[in-house]
């Protein structure tokens, strides 16, 4: 098997599909979204993805992105939609959030203040007091370098606006300026996306936290992603009070210690599929 992290992810997911009798096409897509989701795609999740407009469910006669066994949206859905009609307080404890969550949404669009540039949050959890906890889910993305990850469109700086400073995020503004001038040292982290999400969340007026939750395939690429996250956290200064990062593997280790035996089918599914 290739040592390329993306190949590792796809190979492991294909092996899971074969073990569980799920048919895949040549590119690793299930025949339906339900085959790719624990206990099928819930009605609420389907509505979230339909509103999201990101092509996750596809169009009539076309497969959707979420049908790919290596889909990061499927990964997030498998981990979080399960809790939608259960005790969301468990998720709050898993992330160290003091106030229990009362609402969970997938693929939630939040405006950044610019036309056509909404932040698309993979998971948005809301507490009773209105505090927001957003999750950016990463599966294969940390292992795919792209210039777009360190590039912000000119509209973010139009008319000499300091959009992040305007919403109380001067550290993020400083990093955004580094991206604009090309004076940065990031190698693989999608810094532009994190900045966009933080801008949108800050504009809500609610208390908020953004979590970069990523899937680790041990090796140089994962080390580079972790190093970029440390650099980002350091460079945004006090704004880091709104930011945290965790791997799916670390989250599962916490989960095994916290959830009871009534959730064994769910935790077994996650272990066998993503952690075997």
Is residue 26 one of the residues assigned to a domain?
A: no
On whether residue 260 sits in a domain, the answer given is yes
Is position 49 within any domain?
Answer: no
* pTM as predicted: 0.96
pLDDT in tens, the chain (276 residues): 578 999 999 999 999 999 999 999 999 999 999 999 999 999 999 999 998 866 899 888 889 999 999 999 999 999 999 999 999 999 999 999 999 999 999 999 999 998 888 999 999 999 999 999 999 999 999 999 999 999 999 999 988 889 999 999 999 999 999 999 999 999 999 999 999 999 999 999 999 999 999 999 999 999 999 999 999 999 999 999 999 999 999 999 999 999 999 999 999 999 999 998
Domain count, the chain: 1
215 occurs within a structural domain: yes
Query: Is 86 domain-assigned?
Result: yes
How far, in Å, are 47, 165, 220, 235, 244 from residue 239 at the CA level? 33, 10, 28, 9, 11
Of 172, 221, 169, 198, the C-alpha closest to 7 is: 221
Domain-located, residue 47: no
Closest Cα partner for 56 from 81, 25, 77?
A: 77
Strands (E), the chain: 101-110, 119-127, 132-138, 208-214, 243-247
36 domain-assigned:
no
Whether 2 is covered by a domain: the verdict is no
Residue 228's domain spans which residues? Answer: 72-266
């Amino acid at each position: 098997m290739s040592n390329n992290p993306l190949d590792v992810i796809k190979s492991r997911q294909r092996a899971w599909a074969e073990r569980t009798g799920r048919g895949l096409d040549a590119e690793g897509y299930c025949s339906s979204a339900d085959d790719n989701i624990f206990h099928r795609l819930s009605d609420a999740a389907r509505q979230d993805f339909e509103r999201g407009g990101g092509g996750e469910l596809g169009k009539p006669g076309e497969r959707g992105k979420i049908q790919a066994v290596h889909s990061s949206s499927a990964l997030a859905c498998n981990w979080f939609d399960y809790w939608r009609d259960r005790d969301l307080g468990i998720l709050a404890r898993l992330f160290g959030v003091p106030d229990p969550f009362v609402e969970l949404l997938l693929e939630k669009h939040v405006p950044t203040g610019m036309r056509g540039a909404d932040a698309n949050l993979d998971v948005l959890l809301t507490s009773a007091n209105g505090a927001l906890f957003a999750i950016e889910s990463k599966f294969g993305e940390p292992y795919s370098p792209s210039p777009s990850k360190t590039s912000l469109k000119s509209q973010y700086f139009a008319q000499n606006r300091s959009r992040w400073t305007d919403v109380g995020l001067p550290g993020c503004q400083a990093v955004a300026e580094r991206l604009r001038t090309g004076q940065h040292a990031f190698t693989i982290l999608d810094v532009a996306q994190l900045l966009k999400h933080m801008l949108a969340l800050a504009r809500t007026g609610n208390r908020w936290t953004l979590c970069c939750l990523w899937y680790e395939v041990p090796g140089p690429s994962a080390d580079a992603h972790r190093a970029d996250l440390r650099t980002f956290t350091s460079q945004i200064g006090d704004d880091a009070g709104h930011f945290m990062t965790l791997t799916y593997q670390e989250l599962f280790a916490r989960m095994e210690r916290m959830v009871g035996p009534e959730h064994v089918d769910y935790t077994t599914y996650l272990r066998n599929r993503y952690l075997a």
